[in-house]
Structure 1
Amino acid sequence: MQASETKLQQIIEGTKQYVVPLFQRPYSWKKSEWQALWNDLVELCKADNPRPHFMGSIVTMPTISVPEGVSKYLLIDGQQRLTTVFILLSALRDAAKQSQEELAAEIDNTILVNPYKKGSDYYKLQPTQVDRVAFHQIIHLQDQVNESNVLECYRFFEKKIRQSKLSLELQRIKRVICSNLSLVSVVLSSDDDPYLVFESLNAKGRPLTQADLIRNYFFMRIHTDSQESVYAKYWQPMQDLLNDNLTEFIRHYLTKTGVEVKQNEIYFEIKDRISNNDALSYLKNLCIYSEYYSRLLNPEREPKELVRKYLCRINRLEVATVYPFLLNCYDDWMKNIITEQEFVSVLQVLENFILRRFVCNIQTRGLNRIFALLYSQVRKGADIASDNFVERLKLTLQNRDYPKDREFRARLVDVKLYGGNRSEKCKLMLESIEEFFRHKEQVPFEGLSIEHIMPQTLNEVWKENLGEDWSITHELLRHTIGNLTLTAYNPELSNDTFEQKKEHFKNSHLELNKYFQSKTFWLRKDIEERSEHLADIALQIWNYFGEESAQLSQSGSLKGTIPKTLFCFGEECVVKSWRDVVETTLNKIADLEPDSFKEIMEQFPRFIGWDEKSFRSTRKLHNGAFIEVNLSAQDIYMFCMKAIETAELSIEDWSVETQEFNKKLVQKPLV
C-alpha cells in the first residue's frame, strides 16, 4: 500500500479509467455536499493566490485490463467526491461550448474521456451500474428521460456556473479544480483484498481524517526515540478528550490567531505553521488548548458554576463559530489576564449579540470571519494589564450588524420561535424571562417543554372562538412568543380550550403562567399584547450594550402605507401595492429556493396553494401557485417575513420603501 498527497489533476488526467466496484453504494451526495464544494471553489477562484484545498482521501487498486486497454483502477473509496468532480467538469465543459470551444475541448479530451479509445474504455470513470447510464448521457450531453441523483447534481452545477458567469471565469474555475483541489491518494497492491479494505474504511473503521494526517506530520518531525512518550503525553490525551471533534478543534485552534481556516484547509495550514516552529512546543500548546475546547463542548467539565451555566447557554444557541474567540478568552482567564467575572461577562455579551441577531434573522454566514478576527481587534492597541476587555468587546461587536432595541423589539413580537433548531433557543428565552421574575422558589427547567396556548392544530371550538379569520391568526401567530409558554403538562393540555388550560395554569409555579389568569379569551389581540409584554422584558434581559440605545417604539401599524420600492434579494422592483410586494417576494423565493417554497406552502395553506378556489382573492405566481391577496398590509408584511424565515434567506436582503413615510421598513438596525 502506498499513500501520497497529490493534486486532483494527477488523478484525473492521462489515459486511464476508474471503475467503481459492485460492492459500492450508488451515487448519493446531495445538495448540501454540492453546495459546500461549490462554496469552496468560489472562494478559491476569488483568492489571488489560492492555496491547496484538501478534499479527503481516495483509495484505488490497479486491476487487470486487456493489453490494448487503458490502465484501470478499482475505486475502493472516494467515489462520491470523484463522481461529483466529473459531473461538475461536465457542466463546466457544456457552459464553455457556448463561447470558449477550445476550453470545452480541453476539458473533454484531457479530463472527461479517453478520446482515442473505443467502447467502455472511452470513459475515465465508470460508476456503478445504477448510475452508469445517467453518467454516460451527461458525458455525451444527451437528454435524460429518467430522473436520477446524477442528473440532479449536473443541474445544480449547471445553474451555479450559469449564475456565476459574470463574476467567475470558466478557465479559472477549471484551473482551480485541477490545480488547487488536493487529495491523499492511497494505492493498494495486488495482494490487498479490496472488499476488506472498503469494509474497514466504511464499516469497522473510519476514513482518513485531517487529524490523522496532522498526527503523522507531527511525529515525522519528532525524533523517533521520543515519539512513544510524546504520543502518550500529548497526542493520546487530546484524542481521548475530543474523539471525533479533534479535527474541528485543530481548525478552531488555528482560527484563533485571526486567520479564518476552512474545513479543507486544516492540514495545509498547520503544515505551514509547524514548519516554522518547533513541532514539540506546538504540540504541547495544542494539548493545553484541547482542555479548554473540551469544556466548551462539555461545560459539565468546567468546575466554576457560573462559567458552566453560561457556557451551557452559549451551546444552546448552536453557534460554534465563537469557539476560536473563546479559546483565547479561556487562556486569558487561566493566566489571570482577565477575571472569572470578566469571562462570565464575555459569555453574556456573546449570548446577547448572537440572540439579538437570531431574532432579527441576520444570517450567520459572516460570523466565521467576525469571530476569527474579534480577539485581535479587541486587544489591538490595548494595555492588557489595565484595559477593560469587556467594554472593548462591546464596542467592537456594536459595529458588527448588532440590532438596536427598536429592531429587536419589532422582530421579537412576530418572529417564528418554534420549530427545528429554533425551539431550543425559544426555550432558553422563555426560561430567561421566567428567571427575570426572580421567583423565590425557582422551578427546575429540565422537565419543562414549550406549550402553545393557541394549539398547533385547531379544533372546531378554537376556530369558532378565534373568529372568521382564524386561519390567518393561526398561521401568522401560533409560533410567536406571545403564544408560547413553558409547562410540564404539555401532553395533558394538547388541544384543550383556553378555559381548560387556564385551570391547569392556576396550579403552575411559573410566573410566566400567572399572566393568563386575568384573561377571559385568547384571541389575536391577546397574543399580540402578550408578545409586546414579553418583548419589554426581553429588552431588559438582553439590553442593548452599545454606547447609546436607540429609542424604543411600539410595533408600528402599516395601515394606510403605500409601498413604492421593494428591495428583494439583489433586485430593486417598483411596486404599487402590498399585493405587488407579496407577489414579487414569493416569485423570488420560488426561483431561489424551490424546495423551501414547498415547505412554505405546507406551513401557510391559508396564504398559498395550488387550488385557486381555496382563496378569496388571488394572484398567480410564475410557477403556477396562487397566493391570497385579500389581506391587510400588516398581514402581508408578516407573511413575507415568515416566508423568508422558512426559506432561510436573509431578512437583510429584503426591505420595502413606502411612499407615505419615505423610509424603508428594513430588518437592519434603525438609527
Structure 2
Amino acid sequence: MFHVPEYQRYYSWTEPEWDDLWTDLYTLPPDKQHYFGTIIIQKTDETESGGSTGGYGSSREKPINLLIDGQQRLTSLALLVRSMTECLEEIAPETDHEAEILGDVEEMRETLLIEDNIYQLQLLDEEDNKYLEWLLTGHDVHEPERPSQRKMIEAKEYFDEQLDALTASPDVNPVDVATELKQLWETILELELMVYVVDAANPEKATLIFDSVNDRGRSLSTFDKTKSFLMRMAYLAADNEGEAQATIRRIRQSFGEMYNDHQTMLESPYVTDISDDAVQRYHFISYFDWSNSDEYSDPAFLTELKEHVRTLRREDPQACLEYIRDYTNSLERGFNALAKVLDRTGDDDISTLVQRIHRLRHATKFYPLLLKAWPTLDEDGRQELLNAIETYIFRVYSIGNHRSHTGESSLYVRTRNLSKDSPADVWVSKVVSLMNRYEDDSQFRRSLSAADLYSKASSQDLRYLFYFYNAHRADEKGERGGPTLSEAMSNEYTVEHIWPQSPDELPIQDADDYPSPEARYDAYIHRLGNLTLASRSWNSKWGNAAFETKRDEGYVKSKLWVQWDIQDNYDEWSVENIEDREEAIIEFVLEEWETPETRLGGVEEPADAIDQLTAEEQFVLKALRQNTGGAVRRVIHGDVCELPDSPFKEPNSNGTERNEVGSILSRLQNVGLAEQNKHTWSPTDEALTVEVPT
C-alpha cells in the first residue's frame, strides 16, 4: 500500500492530463505496452493491519510505502478504475456472464482500490484522503471544499463521461462493453513502469532521483523543481548523513506548509487561479538582487537561484547549507503571508480593503510588497498599507487610465530595497511617492474632469466610484440600503448618461465656443457630472429618455441616492449643472481617495525636512554624510553607533537597531536627503549642504 507524504503537492491534474491518460490507455493496440512513467517509492518500517485474518484471529499486516513520485498518476488511475467497476456492475446483470464480470470487478477493486479493508492509496492530508475514499467506495460526497477535492471529483466525472459514451448507443451490446473494459484492465495491469525503491534508512536518496525522472503527466512546476533542487544540494553540501537528513526533512516540512498555504490561496474568492510558481516569483522579486525584469520571469528566477546556490557550494558548503535553510524559511514566510492576505474574507476593515483592491483588478502588482511587508506589520499598519494600495490603484489605473504596467518596475525596486522589518509609514511612503509621480492631487483632479472620462475609465471602475458616492449620499441623509459593492460591480448595474448618448432631440441649441450645438453636447455627455449609477433594468427603460422624463418618471422609481439627488436638486439639465454636479463628485472623490498621510510627506524641499527630523534620524543623516562614496546599511549602522551621544549602541547587531537605521534611510530618501543604488546608500548633494543640528 502507498501513502502520499504530506510534503507532496495536492492533487492537481486537470482535463488535459486526464485526457492523455484515457487516450493512451484506451487506444493502445492489444500487442503494445504503455510506458506509464517513473514511480519513486520509499520503504518504511511501518505496517497497517487489514480486516481479514491470516488464521486464528490474526490480522494481515501490509507494509506501508511512501509514494515520493507518481501520486498524481496513481490517484487518477484509481479514479478511472473506480469508474470502470461502476460501469461493469451496472451492465453485468444485462449479460449471461454476470458472475465472471463481477469477479473481474472484485479483482480490480482489490488490486488498485481496497483490499482487506485497507485502501491501497492513502493521502496523508486527512480531508483529501477521506474525500478520495468516498469517491473510491461510491459514498455520496459533499460539495468539494478545496481545489484538490474539486479536481478529484472532476476527474471521476471525466472518466464516467468516457465510459458513458461507450454505453450511450441503444444498440450497444453490454457484452461488447464489458469485453472492452476487460481489455482496458489488462492494459492497465501490463503498464510499463520504471520503479525506484529507496531504503527506509536512506530517505534523502529519493531526492537525488526525483529531479530527473518526472517524465509523465503534468510537468513539474518551477516550485516543485526548486524543492527537488534544494534537497539535492543540501544532501551534497552537508558534512555528514545526519546533517543532510535533518536539512532535507526541514525542506520537506516547509514545502508541505507551502502546499497548504497554496491551497488556502486557491480557495480565496479573490483569485480564480494562482500558481505556486507565481508566488515563488513574487518572493524572488521581493528579496533577490535582480537587475532587470528578465531575471525575475519564470523560470529564469530558478536559474538565478541555482547559480547562486551552486557557487556557494563550491566556495563554502556550510554557507550553502545555511543559505538553503534561510531561503526555505523566507519562502515559507512569504507563502504564509500571502495566504493570510487572501484569506481575509470577513467584514472587518482589513478584509474590506482586501476585497476592494481585488475589485479594482490590479492587486497582483502589489503581491510582492504584501508578501514581504505583511508579517511584521500590526493590524493598524496593514490597514494603512492596504488603504495606500487601494488609493494608488484607483487613482493610477482606474481613473488615470495609465497602462497596466505603469510603475510596476519602480514598485518592484522599492519592494526589493526595503527591509522586511520596515514600519508601515515607510512602506506607505514608497507607495504614495510612486502614486504621486503619476496621479498627484492636481493630476487626479484633471483626470476626473476629463471630457472623455466615460471612454477612458472602464464601466467597472466608474461603478466602483459611484457605489461609494451613493453610499456617501445615503449616509449624509441618515439612510441605509442600496446595492452592495458586489452587486454594483455585477452585470445587474451599469453607468447611465443623464443626457442620453443618442437623444431623440438635442436638448441644447447654443454652440457657445464649440463649432456646433452637437459638438458642445458631445463634449459634455461623457463627463463625470453627466454620469451616474443605474440598475440595468432601469437603464433599459429610461436610459435614452429626455431629462424631463427621467426626472418626472424615472428617478422617482430608482433605489439609488445618486439618482434621487438629480431629481431633488435639478429642475433642468444643462452644461452648468453638469459642471456643478461634477465638482461636487470630485470633492467627494478627493476626500475618499485622498493622498495617504505619511511621516515627512508634506516636505517639498530637502532643507525643509531638517527641523522635522527626530534625533535618531538626525544621527543617521550625520553618519550617512560621512559616506559620500556610498555604503551599505551595516556600515552606516556602525558609523552612527560611533557618533558621540548616539542613541544607537549595538553596531554588531543585525536586529532591531539595524532595521531602524534602514527605515530611517528610506525616510531620508523620500525627502531627497539620501539615495539608494541597490544595497548602497549615499547622501544627496542637498544632504551635504544642509545644516544638521549638533
Q: TM-score range by the shorter chain?
A: 0.3 to 0.5
Using the size of structure 1 for normalisation, the TM-score is: 0.43
More RCO (CA 8 Å, sep 6+): 1
TM-score by length of 2: 0.42
